[in-house]
Structure 1
Amino acid sequence: MIVVCNHNSYFVQKKDVFGAIGLIPQQKIIAPLRMLTYEVSADQVDEITRMGKSTILESLLRFCRAIESIYIVECLRKPTNIDLQRLLKKAEMRGFPGMIGSIDLFNDVLQGNAPKITYCVNRHMYNGPYYLAYDIYPRWSTFIKTVTRPRSAKEKHFASCQEGCRKDVERCFGILQAHWAIVRGATRLFDAESLQSIMTTCIILHNMIVEEEYDHDVVDEYELDTMNNSRTRIYCAHDGTEESV
């Protein structure tokens, strides 16, 4: 809160021309956070924060722009060497050495700005990373696609591993929607520029929470699914078996 107030004096409590004390910083910051978190409209927030609708909407946009300006360099940076090694380690545990993620936007790939790494597969050394991708992407060596119609046990096993790793990345957006409900529907009420600012703010705040709470060194454990009483289907492709872990 102090950082936001220091960045933008709009959130600092002031007096009007008549000497009346204005809104406190907590009101101007809680209102945007409630809209981002609970997918509520400005009309639903005004009863809690005692603010007008126009003031709530202005606070939301100013708050998003402040978060962008302050934290975009830190929280939307490219992976560091430590982050890259952690991604490579987790990918190798899943049977994909040299894989650094599931591809959705590949501007860096088009520009040839991929990280320089080396790994060995089937006794062959490779010096470039790759991404897991859908069938709609070009047939490049950088993209590893699933087997569309697997027939043999080997193809079925590879398809299960590839689709499982790719879905883990896709589920991140579901987690983002769960934390910041405004992404699900209320964003339709804003223009394109405001939407970009809101979405960027949600991603930044989400990354801040993950960095604060997530233990990157802990061993991943897959517990029973309470809905169907079957373990999550995660395979170890490098050990030659299809036993779930």
Structure 2
Amino acid sequence: MRRDLFMRIHDAIISHDRYFVQRRNAAKKLGHSSLQKMTIAIRMLAYGVTTDFMNEYLRIGERTAMDSFIWFVKAVVSIFSAEYLRSPNPEDIARLLAIGESRGFPGMLGSINCMHWKWKNCPNAWRGSHNDINVLERSNVFANLAEGRAPPVNYSVNGHDYTIRYYLADGIYPSWATFVKTIHAPQGNKRKNFAAAQESARKDVERAFGVLQA
């Protein structure tokens, strides 16, 4: 994680919750710093390590590690959910379309990837009931588009005008107008160049999901 991003989150959670402010205990001994507590939480999220691992890495006990993890997650959701855990607004859409066009895909809002996350203690009745495709079918990502409430998008490709925004997807997804999929076993330079560009752009979401799943 970049230092500026780390410090932005750090400063926000300190202002949000006194748990992260370093203070002295009843014995006047200085407690763990906010940087230690935040580092613990992020390492547990990123690497899936257990709380006792933190004692060796940062000299912090299991109880404090777990408390830091819980308070950190609650603080991040409370502070940033209104900005990041929501549907894109018109300004977001304009920014995403500009990014897509700069990468050679006019009209692209981004890449899509549905992930079936195995739940170890899932009730028996639910086991095996979901895969990537029916996760997609239960998603509300395309609700506005299906209901005709999506903002219009106008762009041209090879002299043809289009109004439907789209996402890059891999070959497993259905052939919907809002998906632009890669070309399996492309033949010829034109198709090979397209497949390479499409798969390169999709690496962003695949890497992000890989970190979340880990």
What is the distance in 2 between the residues matched to 1:66 and 1:99? Answer: 32
Q: TM-score, normalised by structure 1?
A: 0.56
One-letter code aligned to 2:193:
H
Q: CA deviation at 1:66?
A: 1.5
Say whether 1:46 aligns with 2:82: no
Asked if 1:34 is matched to 2:45, the reply is no
**C-alpha distance after superposition, 1:177-235 (max 9, x if no partner):** 4xxxxx575xxxxxxxxxxxxxxxxxxxxxxxxxxxxxxxxxxxxxxxxxxxxxxxxxx
1:89-131 Cα offsets, whole Å, 9 max, x none, are 3322333211111112552214526442111123222212011
Q: Secondary structure at the match of 2:195?
A: helix
Whether 1:108 and 2:141 are equivalent positions in the alignment is: yes
Partner of 2:136: none
The structure whose RCO (Cα within 8 Å, separation 6+) is larger is 1
Does the residue aligned with 2:186 lie in a helix, a strand or coil?
coil
Offset of 1:148 from its aligned partner?
1.7
Matching residue of 1:119: 155
Cα distance change of structure 1 residues 128 and 184 upon mapping to structure 2, 3 Å threshold: closer
Which residue number in structure 2 is paired with residue 159 of structure 1? 195
Compared CA separation, residues 34 and 10, structure 1 to 2 (3 A): closer
Question: Which residue identity lines up with residue 33 of structure 2 in the other structure?
Answer: Q
Residue number in structure 1 paired with 2:186: 150
User: Is contact 2:41–2:65 with CA below 8 Å preserved after alignment?
Assistant: no
- Unpaired runs of 5+ residues, structure 1, are 178-182, 186-245
Q: Please give the secondary structure, in 1, of the residue aligned with 2:98.
A: helix
Residue 30 of structure 1 deviates from its aligned partner by 1.2
- Calculate percent identity across the aligned residue pairs: 40
Q: CA 1:33/1:107 → structure 2, altered by over 3 Å: closer, same or farther? A: same
TM-superposed CA distance for 1:23, in Å, is 5.7
Q: State the match for 2:27 in structure 1.
A: 20
Give the whole-Å Cα distance in 1 for the aligned partners of 2:141 and 2:181. 19
Number of aligned residue pairs: give it.
174
Distance in structure 2 (CA, Å) of the matches to 1:154 and 1:48? 51
Query: Partner letter of residue 61 of structure 1?
Result: I
Asked if 2 retains the 8 angstrom alpha-carbon contact of 1:4 and 1:67, the reply is yes
- Within the alignment, does 1:137 sit opposite 2:137 as a pair? no
User: In 2, Cα distance between the equivalents of 1:145 and 1:153?
Assistant: 17
Amino acid across the alignment from 2:13 = V
Gaps in structure 2 of 5+ consecutive residues: 1-9, 115-138
- Root-mean-square deviation over aligned CA pairs: 3.3
Tell me how far apart the structure 1 counterparts of residues 99 and 171 of structure 2 sit (CA, whole Å).
24
